[in-house]
């Protein structure tokens, strides 16, 4: 089996590559990335291992290069995206270019190839918001609220179309957190971990009561790579979320770890939207280990810092 992963040098991509090298049936891993986020740390860590990785510096809008690489692979994992935090929403053209039209170009190229399976990484942000005490599931109508989430929804539609011809798995993933060498620090838990450890102060937008859906990057990568060896030929759609917590709940857990922690609020009078997602996706069945110990998870991140 030969696998191409777009955005393979990114935060989630790095963790997926670590899992792919452990699968004996994977003969080659093509890491396709334009390095627009400057993820050179991907190349500096020997912890990935494996002698079957080939890096291609390329953009998903480069159709010629995409077609050349797709001619040699069996599975595509599409993780490349222009990402956003919940509090930023700028440059709509770039979101459209990468997340919408880039995904469209990839889907067209896959149609002309011999690819046998597609795994598309989307986002739970396509749902927009949830009503307090009511969890969103895969049947909930999409109602994106930002340029980012609109572009992800539009990109999804192109990949969903492939599902009629080849097994295509659309994974709507929650807020990622956890350590790896390509770690994102614009994700809320990772940002809090860094600021709490090194500055003893965290910044909270709004009143902090907004709920968010989370999953550890390591667990998400395990579930995604399990799909490679799954013999189920049917296409699927799944929300990949492990737990829901308010931003304030996360902040107070850091406060338990750092009693001297200071909390700074920006626009504290604002009540920001909730986005709480059901955690009953069947893909969890093999690796679910019970309720997540949030404090333990946060302490594990902190212990990976060079000094703490």
CATH of the domain at 43: 3.40.50.720
Give me the residue label for tokens 């759609």.
237
Task: State the catalytic residues.
Answer: 148
Q: What is the pLDDT of residue 289?
A: 64
The torsion defined by the Cα of 259, 214, 188 and 78, in degrees rounded to 10, comes to 150
Counting DSSP H helices and E strands in the chain, the numbers are 9, 12
**Same structural domain for residues 122 and 197?**
no
**SS3 of residue 263 by DSSP:** strand
The answer to whether residues 142 and 205 belong to one domain is: no
Judge if 60 and 156 occupy the same domain: yes
Look up residue 204 and give its DSSP letter. E
Read off the pLDDT of residues 290-301 as tens digits, 9 standing for 90 and up: 788 999 999 999
Residue 266 and residue 159 share a domain: no
Q: What 3-state DSSP class applies to 80?
A: coil
Q: Are residues 128 and 209 in the same domain?
A: no
Which residues, in sequence order, are CB contacts of 247 under 8 Å at separation 6+? Answer: 188, 204, 205, 206, 208, 209, 210, 212
Q: Are strands 168-173 and 236-240 parallel, antiparallel or unpaired?
A: parallel
> Does residue 308 sit within a domain?
no
223 and 203 assigned to the same domain = no
Q: Is the pTM of this model over 0.85?
A: yes
Distance of CA 172 to the CA centre of its chain: 8
Q: Are 166 and 297 found together in one domain?
A: no
Same domain as 47, residue 11: yes
Segments forming the whole domain that contains residue 230: 2-176+214-240
Collect the ranges in the chain with pLDDT lower than 50: 86-88
Q: 75: helix, coil or strand?
A: strand
Q: Does 87 lie in the same domain as 207?
A: no
Task: Kindly list the strands in the beta sheet with 2-6, ordered across the sheet, starting from the edge strand earlier in the chain.
Answer: 53-57, 28-33, 2-6, 75-78, 117-123, 168-173, 236-240
118 and 89 share one domain: yes
Q: Are strands 75-78 and 53-57 parallel, antiparallel or unpaired?
A: unpaired
Detail the DSSP E strand segments found in the chain: 2-6, 28-33, 53-57, 75-78, 117-123, 168-173, 175-177, 201-205, 211-216, 236-240, 243-246, 262-266
Domain count, the chain: 2
The pLDDT, as a whole number, for residue 85 is 54
**Are residues 105 and 232 both part of a single domain?**
yes
Tell me, yes or no, whether 114 and 254 share the same domain. no
Helix H or strand E encompassing 162: helix 147-162
In a domain, 282, yes or no: no
SS3 state at 170: strand
Burial state string for 251-274 with b = 16 or more CB within 10 A and e = fewer than 16: bebbbeeeeebebeeeeeeeebeb
55 — phi, psi (to 5°)?
Answer: -95, 135
Q: What is the pLDDT of residue 87?
A: 45
């Amino acid at each position: 089996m030969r696998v191409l992963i777009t955005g393979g040098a990114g935060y989630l991509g790095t963790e997926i590559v670590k899992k792919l090298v452990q699968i004996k049936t994977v003969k080659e891993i093509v890491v396709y990335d334009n390095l627009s986020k400057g993820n050179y740390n991907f190349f500096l860590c020997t912890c990935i291992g494996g002698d079957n990785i080939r890096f291609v510096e390329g953009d998903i809008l480069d159709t010629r290069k995409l077609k050349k690489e797709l001619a040699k692979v069996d599975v595509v994992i599409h993780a490349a995206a222009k990402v956003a935090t919940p509090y930023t929403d700028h440059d709509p053209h770039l979101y459209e270019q990468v997340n919408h039209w880039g995904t469209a170009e990839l889907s067209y190229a896959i149609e002309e190839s011999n690819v046998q399976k597609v795994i598309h990484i989307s986002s739970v942000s396509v749902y927009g918001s949830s009503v307090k005490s009511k969890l969103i599931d895969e049947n909930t109508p999409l109602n994106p609220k930002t340029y980012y989430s609109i572009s992800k929804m539009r990109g999804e539609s192109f990949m969903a179309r492939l599902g009629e011809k080849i097994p295509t798995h659309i994974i709507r993933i929650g807020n990622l957190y956890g350590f790896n060498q390509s770690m994102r620090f614009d994700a809320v838990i990772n940002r809090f971990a860094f600021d709490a450890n090194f500055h003893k102060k965290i910044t909270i937008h709004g009143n902090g009561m907004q709920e968010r859906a989370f999953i550890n990057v390591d667990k998400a990568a395990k579930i995604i790579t399990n799909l490679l060896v799954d013999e189920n030929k049917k296409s699927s759609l799944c929300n990949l979320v492990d737990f829901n917590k308010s931003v304030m709940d996360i902040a107070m857990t850091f406060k338990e770890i750092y009693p001297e922690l200071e909390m700074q609020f920006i626009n504290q009078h604002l009540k920001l939207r909730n986005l709480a997602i059901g955690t009953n996706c069947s893909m969890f069945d093999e690796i679910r280990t019970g309720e997540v110990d949030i404090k333990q998870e946060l302490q594990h991140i902190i212990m990976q810092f060079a000094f703490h």
